[in-house]
């Protein structure tokens, strides 16, 4: 953190810009950098693959948003009342994801559960974005002692493992969907604060911002007109990444039983409930989990696409 390792070594604490790229950073050209493969012209599917995966990622997110907004369009069945005669049926044309011990259609429950994950993810990212960006912008623009103090607070936040920090907030606020989402949001405050501070410091040093000051711009107007818009892409990429992480963390809290109470069809809770039928009904745990994986992968891919574009634009 104080050590200057910039050229060879990514700063251990400064994992925001790194983490931003890392989970998705499969180089689109498959940069294997072996002398033999690098010289060969990339195969045609290589050019298409990154675009295909970004398109798929957006399609997945759009579908899940649609599930959350209008679940009735995607399924005609009821997520809360089941048909006891159909209980524990394996996946079929009538029940795509099978049914649970009370005969409720699992696909319907997953569709209705989308709103809890999406809302939770949005609240979590919102908490992290607002609180983190505020901290970072204040630290980066005022500087001096306050900057030092706020960044030490960020260090402290980073020193507590994410899950434990979430659990500390939950023990304070109590169980529930919104509380779990806030608790997850608190863990991303540090990342947003670091990123926005470094962006503000970077943009501040550019010539057009100097020029804006030189031509008599006041601090707040320059901040709003020049600094914030130019930091936006980086923050957006982090927000997309944090959204995926938040969906994952919220399902974990739901699984541990600290999120929405049953019979809410929250994804983590669905998986937790399916555990009692592990030996006989694989679909109860496997399929909702796959949905979580696909959504998180998509959010990460979108985040990677945003940062790739940003680097390409520079």
Binding test (CB under 8 A) with another protein, winner from 59, 94, 224, 278: 278
Give least dist CB 218 to another protein, A: 34
Size of site (CB under 8 A) for another protein: 74
131 binds another protein (CB under 8 A): no
32: helix, strand or coil: coil
Q: Which parts of 249-268 interact with another protein (CB under 8 A)?
A: 251-252, 255-258, 268
Give least dist CB 287 to another protein, A: 11
212 with 179: CB under 8 angstroms? no
- Alpha helices (runs of H) in 257-282, residue ranges in sequence order: 267-274
294 with 267: CB under 8 angstroms? no
CB nearer another protein, residue 32 or residue 178:
32
Alpha-carbon distance of 67 to 188, in angstroms, equals 26
Alpha-carbon distance of 242 to 177, in angstroms, equals 18
Give least dist CB 118 to another protein, A: 16
Q: Which parts of 288-307 interact with another protein (CB under 8 A)?
A: 289, 292-293, 296-297, 300-301
Alpha-carbon distance of 301 to 24, in angstroms, equals 6
Binding test (CB under 8 A) with another protein, winner from 60, 135, 165, 269: 165
Give least dist CB 110 to another protein, A: 13
Sign of the CA dihedral 63, 68, 74, 75? positive
Q: Which parts of 23-52 interact with another protein (CB under 8 A)?
A: 23-27, 30-35, 37, 40, 43, 46, 49
Please count the other Cβ atoms lying within 10 Å of the Cβ belonging to residue 241. 27
């Amino acid at each position: 953190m104080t050590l200057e390792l910039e050229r060879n070594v990514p700063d251990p604490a400064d994992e925001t810009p790194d983490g931003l790229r890392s989970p998705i950073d499969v180089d689109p050209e498959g940069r294997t950098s072996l002398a033999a493969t690098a010289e060969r012209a990339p195969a045609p599917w290589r050019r298409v693959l990154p675009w295909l995966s970004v398109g798929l990622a957006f399609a997945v997110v759009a579908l899940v948003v649609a599930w959350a907004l209008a679940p009735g369009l995607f399924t005609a069945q009821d997520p809360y009342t089941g048909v006891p005669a159909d209980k524990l049926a394996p996946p079929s044309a009538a029940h795509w994801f099978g049914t649970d011990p009370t005969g409720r259609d699992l696909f319907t429950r997953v569709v209705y559960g989308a709103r809890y994950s999406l809302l939770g993810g949005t609240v979590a990212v919102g908490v992290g974005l607002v609180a983190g960006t505020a901290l970072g912008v204040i630290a980066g623009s005022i500087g001096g002692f306050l900057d030092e103090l706020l960044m030490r607070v960020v260090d402290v936040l980073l020193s507590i493992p994410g899950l434990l920090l979430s659990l500390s907030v939950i023990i304070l606020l109590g169980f529930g969907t919104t509380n779990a989402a806030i608790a997850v949001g608190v863990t991303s405050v540090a990342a947003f604060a670091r990123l926005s501070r470094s962006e503000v410091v970077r943009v501040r040093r550019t010539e057009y911002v100097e020029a804006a000051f030189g031509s008599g711009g006041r601090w707040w107007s320059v901040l709003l007109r020049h600094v914030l818009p130019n930091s936006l892409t980086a923050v957006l990429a982090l927000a997309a990444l944090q959204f995926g992480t938040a969906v994952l963390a919220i399902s974990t809290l739901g699984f541990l039983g600290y999120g929405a109470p049953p019979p809410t069809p929250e994804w983590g809770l669905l998986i937790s409930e399916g555990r009692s039928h592990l030996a006989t009904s694989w679909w109860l745990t496997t399929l909702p989990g796959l949905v979580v994986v696909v959504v998180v992968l998509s959010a990460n891919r979108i985040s990677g696409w945003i940062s790739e574009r940003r680097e390409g634009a520079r």
